[in-house]
Amino acid sequence: MSSSSTKPDYGIDAPGVVRNLFVAGAICVLLFRFLPNFTVGGVTFLLGLMFRNTGIGCFVGGTLMLVYSKFSKFRHRDRMLNMVNWRGDERVLDVGTGAGLLLIGAAKRLTNGRPTGIDLWSQVDLSANEKQRTLRNAELEGVKDRVEVLDGDATAMTFPDNTFDVIVSLACIHNIPTREGRDKACQQIARVLKPGGAAIISDFKNTGRYKSEFKKAGLKLSSEGGYSWTTFPPMRIIKVTKTG
């Protein structure tokens, strides 16, 4: 990210997937132009038409992912943060903060609270994903002195038990490659959440498994939305609370 930029940049989610969809779409369209149809046993196989439709589908999918990255995810961020009854003094943790979308959104809702973001900074999951860009976004949004950005693994957090009032995570946990690792991330979220606190998690898959792990860890499902069709892929939000 250029230091001369005057607007925050929250990146493109899953840039490799977006690129591959457009490349596959282009290849399919080219094949559509050159592949002949043929008939076997009286059945005509419209290979060109099949590749054309597949190409169109790839282009549509790539475009929808770009629209989400540049526009829709801000509305989804607000939907998640609106599920918290903010006092203003909360300790907040953003798991897989990336470019700081949720971290910075939470900071703007706090008065004397403090949000912390952790990430492993994988550029497979988010374009140009690095700590300095997150801090630059926070600076451009006017909250740099109110946020903390750390290197951190969701499966092995170093925070003490019962540290955070609110924990948020958007499209992060599914990127952990093993089910054991994803389960550990849920267990860690439950461990560092304060009694009376809330965790709000949004993802496009595995949310049923997350709920199961949170329940095993003693958290209670407070709210569960259906899949949002303003995101791509469609995402679900779950909210769990810690009692006692």
Domains and CATH numbers, the chain: 15-73 (no CATH), 75-242 (3.40.50.150)
Specify the pTM. 0.87
Task: Tell me what pLDDT residue 46 has.
Answer: 59
Cite the DSSP H helix spans in the chain. Answer: 15-34, 47-67, 73-81, 101-107, 131-140, 179-192, 207-216
Q: What's the pLDDT at 1?
A: 45
At residue 208, what is the residue type?
G
| Phi, then psi, of 174 in degrees rounded to 5 | -65, -20
pLDDT of residue 32: 75
Residue 166: closest CA among 89, 78, 64: 89
pLDDT of residue 47: 67
Instruction: Give the model's pLDDT for residue 31.
Output: 78
Q: What's the pLDDT at 137?
A: 96
- 198 - beta bridge partners? 166, 241
pLDDT < 50: residue spans in the chain: 1-3, 44
